[in-house]
């Protein structure tokens, strides 16, 4: 009887395990964000849509990436927060490619003229018939093939740890809190995505104090495989309390040549426990010779570039590879 029960349990787990690989593409938006996840189920999640303007540059890059995976629409577009380099490209993308559902934290707290223009463009997309889902910490997105759990939104963070988190954080207390950030950055929607045995985290532009809320005294997220470096690698974010507690094996920084890539953050990420590699979308002019990775792990080495990205291919076992789409250089990371 025990053998039968064990066999049935093994069969059930095998049937529940995802089949096929998760594809992730970090699309270059010159210091904005646009990260595309394509699940084996065929569903897609795009995190942010880059900048507006530049002859629709970022929308074109996103559409090209989506079509390279055979997509005919973006099922879910998650807007981390209402800043130009994240939500600005939404209207141009919506005009060029179908979007099923937009996900956001609710109302834009910034009310200046620029913010109002961004909001008007976004609201027009929502009014066009695109579904809208407003999320709060603890919500799980209705995406097939992966668990995507919201850990921050609209200035709030989860009240209890996600699976895999909850460890005491020895770095807490070594870093001071900073002046309160009242901008949209502090309201970023952040999430943990779990695919089989693989875990990744994207916190948008979540800033310092909110990171400490998530990670002290206990780290609510815990160790992960792939860290999407917060805030384009700017030092307003990426505290040691966050990064060291994540213990990422690999990190990808969606910086631009002149946006993000702060040397202090570069040092934090590259010194974090267990880190194997950092990959960058751009060579950081601010980082110079001392705070950039080797060119084989930089998608764009020139400021005026072709806008090439970085791609990850993830197996349910937790094994994954990362590829530089400029050179084709690929590195494999075995399952833990």
Is there a domain that residue 89 lies in? yes
Is there a domain that residue 15 lies in? no
Q: Is the pTM of this model over 0.75?
A: yes
Range of the domain at 77: 20-333
Tens digit of pLDDT per residue, the chain (336 long)?
444 444 443 444 333 444 699 999 999 999 999 999 999 999 999 999 999 999 999 999 999 999 999 999 999 999 999 999 999 999 999 999 999 999 999 999 999 999 999 999 999 999 999 999 999 999 999 999 999 999 999 999 999 999 999 999 999 999 999 999 999 999 999 999 999 999 999 999 999 999 999 999 999 999 999 999 999 999 999 999 999 999 999 999 999 999 999 999 999 999 999 999 999 999 999 999 999 999 999 999 999 888 999 999 999 999 999 999 999 999 999 998
Is there a domain that residue 36 lies in? yes
Kindly state the tokens that stand for 190: 């952040």
Is there a domain that residue 303 lies in? yes
Q: How far is residue 59 from each of residues 210, 289, 297, measured CA to CA in Å?
A: 30, 32, 24
Q: Cβ distance 277 to 322 under 8 Å?
A: yes
Is there a domain that residue 247 lies in? yes
CATH number at residue 143: 3.60.15.10
Q: How many domains does the chain have?
A: 1
Q: ∠146-151-152 over CA atoms, to 5°?
A: 135
Is there a domain that residue 202 lies in? yes
Is there a domain that residue 6 lies in? no
Is there a domain that residue 11 lies in? no
């Amino acid at each position: 009887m025990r053998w039968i029960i064990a066999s049935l349990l093994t069969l059930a787990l095998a049937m529940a395990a995802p089949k096929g690989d998760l594809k992730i593409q970090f699309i270059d938006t010159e210091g904005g964000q646009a990260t595309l996840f394509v699940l084996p189920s065929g569903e897609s999640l795009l995190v942010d849509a880059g900048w507006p303007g530049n002859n629709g540059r970022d929308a074109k890059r996103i559409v090209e990436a989506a079509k390279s995976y055979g997509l005919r629409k973006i099922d879910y577009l998650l807007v981390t927060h209402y800043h130009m380099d994240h939500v600005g490209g939404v209207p141009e993308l919506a005009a060029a490619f179908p979007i099923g559902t937009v996900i956001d934290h609710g109302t834009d707290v910034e009310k200046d003229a620029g913010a109002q223009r961004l909001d008007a463009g976004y609201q027009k997309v929502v009014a066009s018939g695109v579904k809208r889902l407003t999320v709060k910490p603890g919500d799980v997105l209705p995406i097939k093939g992966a668990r995507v759990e919201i850990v921050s939104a609209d200035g709030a963070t989860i009240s209890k740890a996600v699976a895999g988190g909850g460890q005491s954080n020895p770095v807490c207390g070594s870093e001071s809190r900073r002046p309160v950030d009242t901008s949209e950055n502090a309201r970023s929607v952040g999430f943990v995505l779990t695919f089989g045995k693989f875990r990744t985290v994207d916190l948008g532009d979540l800033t310092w104090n909110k990171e400490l809320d998530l990670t002290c005294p206990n780290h609510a997220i815990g160790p992960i495989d792939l860290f999407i470096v917060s805030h384009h690698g700017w030092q307003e974010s990426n505290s040691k309390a966050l990064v060291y507690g994540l213990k990422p094996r690999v990190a990808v920084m969606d910086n631009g040549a002149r946006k993000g890539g702060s040397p202090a953050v570069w040092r934090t990420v590259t010194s974090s426990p267990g880190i194997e590699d950092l990959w960058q979308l751009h060579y950081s002019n601010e980082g110079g010779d001392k705070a950039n990775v080797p060119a084989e792990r930089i998608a764009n080495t020139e400021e005026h570039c072709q806008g090439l990205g970085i791609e990850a291919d993830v197996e349910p076992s937790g094994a994954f590879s990362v590829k530089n789409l400029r050179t084709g250089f690929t590195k494999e990371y075995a399952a833990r």
